[in-house]
Each structure stands twice: as structure tokens, then as C-alpha cells.
Amino acid sequence: MSHLPSLADQLTRARTVEAAAQEVVDFAVRAGLTLPSLYLERGGRLRCIAQHGYWQVFDGIGPGTGVAGTTYATGERSVVLDVAASHNYIAAYPAVIAEICEPIQVDGRTVGVLNVESPVRLTTADARCVEQLAAVFAERLAALGGPPLESPAERLARFGSELMGLSAVDDIARATLEVAVELSGMSSAALLLTDHTEPRPLACTGPLGPVIEALPASTLGRLAYLVHMARSCYTSEEEFGVGSAGMRDVLEAGVGSLAVVALVVGASRQGVLVAADERRGSRSAEVSLLELLAAQAGASLRTVTTANALYDSERRFRALAEHASDLVCLHKRSGRIVYASPSARAVIDADAESLVGVDGIDLCHVEDRDRVRQEVADGLPSGRVTVAYRRPGNRDDTQPHRWLESAITPVHDEGGAVSHLQTITRDITKRKLAEERLAHQASRDPLTGLLNRT
């Protein structure tokens, strides 16, 4: 490549990584490489810095994904002579038949890739050209200080993805504070929960963390109240002035600047995110990022705490049901059973597992079903309803039907809507037989057995 020295000269005039990348891509096009693209790693994924010829661009490619991701993960050149035969090829341009991907390495570390796709066969000379272009760019990249840092938006997107894998409140809090310090440029952060009468620190980090944690409950309460009517409150660069009591107390404790952001999910305020630094100065630039961070963290905390509460509720429900003599079932709104207690064997002579998926109405004698449906429909809106019905005997009539009584209670979700139905069922056959005997005795003369006259 006789023109590579001129490219190197052009790159020395490029003042940004993006400008240098575009120079390399443009040079590749002039050299006959139709579809070049240059990716650099940011936040653990390959981000497209420059490209030519593509209408659609794949971005955020993970290590090991596609040809580019594989080249980055292995640090070795990839040559695909026939993309149709490659299981690793990601199609971005329909006419492509071949691809070459060269790692970009700085100080012995792979930091990105230079990828070239082509609608015609690629040659050994093409591969050599791509290799040299990657090397020239890597040299200029090192001179510019290396790959650009991950943008705040990219960091927040990655944080949101990471949150999905966390299931413990403490882990969510620690991850949130780590990102809060990173995004704000402040030295310390704290997460305060306001789900109790007084705000309490859930987690603190940084040199000012112990200072915030040691603040009196009254001061923490005033901090939380700062964002009672707003989403955020922060110090400015003004040297003089008097803030509210909560802010003043914190500054007097040795904090130079502060940003307080509400953790809001819908209409629910769960707490506040506090970022602090020893230095004075305005924190207005960081607040919008912290608000987005707080929204992500708040939603994740609410999901986890709701799931934990549901798990604890189900565990208590099962603990009670497992030891109950009555048959306890949980039904979907449709009536399908999703759980049956072990007492199913004693109450209706059936295995609990065999009842899962069965419609509860099927436990009724066919002649009782319409009546039971109507009684449930009439009584359930007002709360608990109790119905009595016959349980069919076996097919050869060697065992007669049983009488059962079920108390049906609606189970509501957080929004107040009915999500499930709980039934507690007992065998009342003996009671029904006794009632029938009493009715029979009351209607006949005890001496003659004849029906009483009315």
C-alpha cells in the first residue's frame, strides 16, 4: 500500500478518535474495500465509530458474537471466504459474499476491530491492506489516549441490563451507588429508604459515606423532604446563601456539594439517592443522569421487594396449607387449580399433584355445577362465599358421592384486582346425612313410619 504514509500523515491531523476512524474508513473505500466499518470497545461491547456503505448498522456487539465479536474476543484475524457457509455471520448487507475482520490492538490489548465486507471475492492483498490500516489506526489511537470512554447513556443502558440479573436488595443498592459515583464524578453516594416512619440508610459508599450514615434521623428526614415536591435538589456554585435546614446540616458536617434525587416509581416514592463530594461546586450537569439512574434503581428495588414479599406470602400460605386438615387450593381466576395441599387425599381421595390444572368446578357433581357457578358469581363480589355440593362417587357406584363444602376467598394483587381464588374445602358428608335423617324423622310418624299429615 504505497499510499499508507499519506494516510498516516492525515491521521496525525485528526484531533479526535472519531475523526481518525473516519479517515481510515474513507481510505479503505478509495482502496476498493467496499463496505468498511470500525468498531471500538466501550462498556464491554463493540461500538461502531465509523462506517461506509451501510444503510443499517449493528451496534453494541458482544464479545464472541458474529465475526466482529469473535475477532475481538480472540484477538485474531477472521477471514470468511463464503459468508453463506458461516454460522457466525451477521447479515447487514444482502449482496455480501466475503468478510475480513482485523483486530485493533494498543499496548498488546485488543480494543476494537476493523471489519470489511465485500460483494466480490476478497484477496490476500485485501487482507494485507486491512491489516495495515488497522495497525496505522492503532498507532494514532494510542497517541490520542486510547478508545473514547463509555458515554453516560451507554453506561446507564448497561446498568439497566445488569440490574435485571440482581435479585437482592443489597446488591441493587451497591450497584446503584457505584454507578452514581461514576456518572456524577462525586466521591460518595448513599441510598436512603423512606418506607418507614423515618428515612434509613440502605447503603453508603465513598469517604463521605460514613458522614451521611451518621447523620441524625431528623436530618435524613429533612434531606428526603427536599425532593418531596420535586425530583431533585442540588447545590449551586454560589459562594454565599442559605439553603434549607436539611441541606445546611449536611454541608456543616463537611460535605462541599450535594445532589439529592427522589426514587420514584409511578406515584410511589421509595427513597432518595444522595451524591456528595468534599469540593464545592454546581451539580446541575449531573442531576439529569442521576434522575435516570434513580428511576432504574427504584423500579428494580420495587420489583425485588414485591417478589420477596410474594415469596414470603406464598411460603407462609404453603406452611399453613401443608399442615391443614382441610383441603386448601389456589386457583387462577379461570378456576384452574395451581396448588393443592397434601390433605387432598384425606378430603377427596385424590393426589394433590393430580389436581393441578384441573378446573375447580369439575370437582362438583354435574347436577350441582350450574347452581354452584351462580352462587359464586352472586357472592364473590362481596368477599368470601361458601358453597356446598356433591363430589361424584366412582363409576361403578360402589362408593356413593360425598358432600363437600368450599369457602372461596378472592386474592387481590397490588392494584386491588382479583388475581387468584383461594378455596378451603372440607368433607361434610356426615353432617348432610345427619340432616337428611333429621328431615326424614321430622316428616314421618315415629310409630307408624307414615308421612305426617299437613
CA–CA–CA angle 150, 153, 156 (5° rounding)? 90
Average pLDDT over every residue of 109-124: 95
Q: Give the 3-state secondary structure of residue 150.
A: coil
Q: State pLDDT tens for residues 70-90.
A: 999 999 999 999 998 888 888
Looking from the CA of 32 toward its CB, the CA atoms found within 13 Å total 9
Note the pLDDT of residue 239.
60
Q: State pLDDT tens for residues 232-256.
A: 888 877 665 556 666 677 777 788 8
Note the pLDDT of residue 376.
92
Would you say residue 218 has pLDDT above 80?
yes
φ, ψ dihedrals at 423, nearest 5°? -120, 140
Note the pLDDT of residue 217.
85
- Which domains are seen in the chain, by residue range? 4-143 (3.30.450.40), 152-309 (3.30.450.40), 324-438 (3.30.450.20)
- Alpha-carbon gap, residue 272 to 192, rounded angstroms: 5
Would you say residue 431 has pLDDT above 80?
yes
Which H helix or E strand runs over 118?
A: strand 109-118
pTM of the model: 0.60
Partners of 50 in the β-ladder? 38
Note the pLDDT of residue 121.
93
Would you say residue 104 has pLDDT above 90?
yes
**Average pLDDT along the chain:** 86
φ, ψ dihedrals at 432, nearest 5°? -65, -40
More confident residue, 60 or 451: 60
Percent of the chain clearing pLDDT 90 (strictly above): 44
Note the pLDDT of residue 425.
92
Note the pLDDT of residue 2.
53
Would you say residue 223 has pLDDT above 90?
no
Q: State pLDDT tens for residues 225-236.
A: 888 888 888 887
Q: State pLDDT tens for residues 15-31.
A: 999 999 999 999 999 99
CA–CA–CA angle 47, 285, 299 (5° rounding)? 70
Q: State pLDDT tens for residues 327-375.
A: 999 999 999 999 998 899 989 989 999 999 999 999 999 999 999 999 9
More confident residue, 268 or 33: 33
Q: State pLDDT tens for residues 118-133.
A: 999 999 999 999 999 9
Cα distances (Å, whole numbers) of residue 220 to 35, 109, 174, 244 = 58, 46, 19, 13
| Confidence bin at 383 (pLDDT 50/70/90) | confident
Note the pLDDT of residue 173.
92
Cα distances (Å, whole numbers) of residue 289 to 13, 155, 182, 294 = 34, 10, 11, 9
- Please choose, from the candidates 259, 266, 248, 298, the residue with its C-alpha nearest in 3D space to the C-alpha of residue 281: 259
Average pLDDT over every residue of 63-74: 95
Note the pLDDT of residue 279.
86
Average pLDDT over every residue of 300-323: 75
Q: State pLDDT tens for residues 164-190.
A: 888 888 999 999 999 999 888 899 999
Q: CA 347: distance to chain centroid?
A: 42
Would you say residue 143 has pLDDT above 80?
yes
Note the pLDDT of residue 324.
79
- Alpha-carbon gap, residue 26 to 50, rounded angstroms: 9
